[in-house]
A and B are shown apart, each in its own frame.
Chain A
Amino acid sequence: MSTLRDFVQGKTQVVSAPLAMEALNTRWGLATAADFGSDVDVLNYALTLEYLEATFYQQGNAKNLLSGQEQTYLQQVQKDEEAHVAAITATVQKLGGTPVAKPMVQFGDAFSSRDKFLTTSHTFENVGVGAYLGAAGFIKNKDVLVAAASIFGVEARHAALVGNLLGLPAEGGVYMGAFETPMAKDKVLAAVAPFLASQMGRMPSGGVDTGGGPADTGPNTALIVGGAALLGGAGTAAYLGRRHASDTADSANDS
């Protein structure tokens, strides 16, 4: 936490945005700052997606559509998503927020066959990758950023492996180019909306009163206990980039 001050207060704006790589800058097609008012907002956004994923695999794996190594892989994916839910929940609590409630979900015919299960999984995982990358720019707490990065990378692993299980083209199916692309919140929500049976109105908001009180998952699962990771930097990057742009172009809006 000792480094938080430096990032949040913008002391690290050593390099101006125009100096850095323009080609990659264009990848920061993020949502507007109004989308996330706090780190808890971002975390609850991520938590909803992780709930969606965890529940998806819990239901899908229970259908016994897979076998052998495939089944083992998808069971591990489920455990990963469950670990993400627990860690994000604990982190929201540690930040003094209220974890968003588990959404009601509806997966339609996603479990009607092995192919549909894996195809839907592939969509979820790639949306997850883009969502983390797109939301990271709004995270202010560096420890949270670092933790989010460590999840982001694992979602990318899931996406690639499931794409390969499906036998999709290597480029455009297993890999999505040489650089990951962030996804703005409105696009993420549009992608997952069909699977959320309720809570669409409150999903992005932080501090939602869940009415039930958060589960006690213990502090040791908190994200901010976890190791360093790259998206943390990315989030800081986008955040600082925005601050910088605002400070130089329209300081009235950002001070």
Chain B
Amino acid sequence: MGDKPTDDAVFGGRPVVAFGRDVDRRNFLRWAGLVGVGAAFVVGAGAAPAFASTLAPGQSPTPSPSPGGGASSTGDLGILNYALTLEYLEAEFYTQGLAANVVSGREMELITPIKAHEQAHVAAIMATVTKLGGTPVAKPTIKFPDGTFGGRDKFLQTASTFEELGVSAYHGQVPLIMSADVLGAAASIAGVESRHAAILAQLTGGKPFPDPFEQPKTMSDVLAAAKPFIS
């Protein structure tokens, strides 16, 4: 357990995501700003300096809307694209991990559906963004650090950290989501991520139920943890 990755550096701090199109990176920044993380990522010195250069002159992140008050559906689109990016990452993570053939037997049986779930989440969120009149963020180019899938332990421990991050990410968005249907959909996804988290904790000798109540993380905290994914 000693080498279990932490939330602060899921992939050892190395960049694993590169948006394939500059427009997607700009969109990422735009919605990040809309939901309040822009200050942390664009303005924040050193947090992600590259981000600042992608903003057009005069373009600045929109201040965070107060929870439940006054934000338009643009905020939901931002949150959905945030969730979509995380789901892209998860789906790709399991796709590559399963292809690496480092798990077998019951473990393989338990991990295989997770990949399908994450893919279903990607599809559902994309459809929702489209129905809301938005543009789903494109799948980023994802490069996991060497060794991520080099062995059973590393794969599953990284997965465990990833799932816990995902759970807290969804729970952290509740106060900010405006649309009834977006909230409902997100809840039905979050419960499944909780199941994943419990099973992966069990498989890696962690705590399947670390607390009687799921804990939220703000988008800025999640993005800080996910920073290594985003180059």
Which residues of A sit under 8 angstroms from B49, Cβ to Cβ?
Answer: none
Q: Name A's interface SS.
A: helix
Q: Is A84 an interface residue (CB 8 A)?
A: yes
Which residues of B sit under 8 angstroms from A11, Cβ to Cβ?
Answer: 69-70
Q: Is A233 an interface residue (CB 8 A)?
A: yes
Q: Name B's interface SS.
A: helix
Q: Which 4 A-B pairs have the closest CB atoms?
A: A20-B181, A234-B187, A237-B183, A3-B68
What are 14 A-B pairs at a CB distance below 8 A? A21-B124, A73-B202, A83-B212, A149-B214, A150-B216, A154-B194, A170-B110, A170-B112, A228-B172, A229-B190, A231-B187, A236-B183, A237-B181, A241-B184
Given contacts A20-B179, A21-B185, contact A150 B213 (CB under 8 A): yes
Cβ of B70 to closest chain A Cβ, rounded Å: 8
Across the interface, do B216 and A153 meet the contact criterion of CB distance under 8 Å? Answer: no
Given contacts A15-B180, A227-B216, contact A153 B190 (CB under 8 A): yes
Which residues of B sit under 8 angstroms from A199, Cβ to Cβ?
Answer: none
Cβ of B111 to closest chain A Cβ, rounded Å: 8
Encoded as 1 (CB less than 8 Å from any B CB) or 0, chain A from 1 to 44 comes to: 01110110001111101011101110110000000000000000
Interface residue tally for chain A (C-beta within 8 Å): 78
Which residues of B sit under 8 angstroms from A237, Cβ to Cβ?
Answer: 177, 179-187
Among B112, B178, B192, point to the contact of A156 (Cβ < 8 A).
Answer: B192
Given contacts A24-B184, A157-B198, A179-B120, contact A229 B191 (CB under 8 A): no
Across the interface, do A153 and B191 meet the contact criterion of CB distance under 8 Å? Answer: yes
Across the interface, do A147 and B68 meet the contact criterion of CB distance under 8 Å? Answer: no
- Please report which residues of chain A, range 121-177, place their CB below 8 angstroms from some CB of chain B when the two chains form the complex: 129, 133, 136-137, 142, 145-147, 149-154, 156-161, 164, 167, 169-171, 174-177
Q: Is B175 an interface residue (CB 8 A)?
A: yes
Cβ of B221 to closest chain A Cβ, rounded Å: 12
Across the interface, do A230 and B195 meet the contact criterion of CB distance under 8 Å? Answer: no
Across the interface, do A6 and B202 meet the contact criterion of CB distance under 8 Å? Answer: no
Among B67, B116, B127, B209, point to the contact of A154 (Cβ < 8 A).
Answer: B209
Q: Is A77 an interface residue (CB 8 A)?
A: yes
- Please report the C-alpha to C-alpha distance between residue A15 and residue B184 in the assembled complex, in whole angstroms: 13
Given contacts A149-B214, A170-B110, A238-B180, contact A23 B124 (CB under 8 A): yes
Cβ of B200 to closest chain A Cβ, rounded Å: 10
- Please report the C-alpha to C-alpha distance between residue A23 and residue B207 in the assembled complex, in whole angstroms: 33
User: Which residue of chain B is the closest to A167 with respect to CB atoms?
Assistant: B106
Across the interface, do B199 and A180 meet the contact criterion of CB distance under 8 Å? Answer: no
Across the interface, do B173 and A179 meet the contact criterion of CB distance under 8 Å? Answer: no
Encoded as 1 (CB less than 8 Å from any A CB) or 0, chain B from 127 to 146 comes to: 11001110000000000000
Which residues of B sit under 8 angstroms from A150, Cβ to Cβ?
Answer: 171, 213-216
Greatest chain A CB density within 10 A among B68, B114, B186 is at: B68
- Please report the C-alpha to C-alpha distance between residue A167 and residue B175 in the assembled complex, in whole angstroms: 37
Given contacts A27-B188, A154-B194, A178-B121, contact A230 B181 (CB under 8 A): no
- Please report which residues of chain B, range 16-75, place their CB below 8 angstroms from some CB of chain A when the two chains form the complex: 66-73
Across the interface, do A27 and B184 meet the contact criterion of CB distance under 8 Å? Answer: yes
Which residues of B sit under 8 angstroms from A158, Cβ to Cβ?
Answer: 198, 209
Which residues of A sit under 8 angstroms from B127, Cβ to Cβ?
Answer: 21, 23
Among B187, B189, B208, point to the contact of A161 (Cβ < 8 A).
Answer: B208
User: Which residue of chain A is the closest to B129 with respect to CB atoms?
Assistant: A21
Cβ of A168 to closest chain B Cβ, rounded Å: 11
Among A17, A179, A229, point to the contact of B216 (Cβ < 8 A).
Answer: A229
Given contacts A229-B171, A230-B173, contact A17 B202 (CB under 8 A): no
Which residues of A sit under 8 angstroms from B9, Cβ to Cβ?
Answer: none
Given contacts A3-B68, A6-B68, contact A227 B215 (CB under 8 A): yes
Among A6, A17, A229, point to the contact of B214 (Cβ < 8 A).
Answer: A229
Which residues of B sit under 8 angstroms from A76, Cβ to Cβ?
Answer: 207-209
Q: Is B92 an interface residue (CB 8 A)?
A: no
Across the interface, do A178 and B120 meet the contact criterion of CB distance under 8 Å? Answer: yes
User: Which residue of chain B is the closest to A12 with respect to CB atoms?
Assistant: B178
Greatest chain A CB density within 10 A among B116, B132, B167, B171 is at: B171
Which residues of A sit under 8 angstroms from B192, Cβ to Cβ?
Answer: 156, 175-180
Across the interface, do B213 and A229 meet the contact criterion of CB distance under 8 Å? Answer: yes
Across the interface, do B208 and A73 meet the contact criterion of CB distance under 8 Å? Answer: yes
Among B167, B182, B213, point to the contact of A147 (Cβ < 8 A).
Answer: B213
Cβ of B88 to closest chain A Cβ, rounded Å: 15
Greatest chain B CB density within 10 A among A7, A14, A19, A157 is at: A157
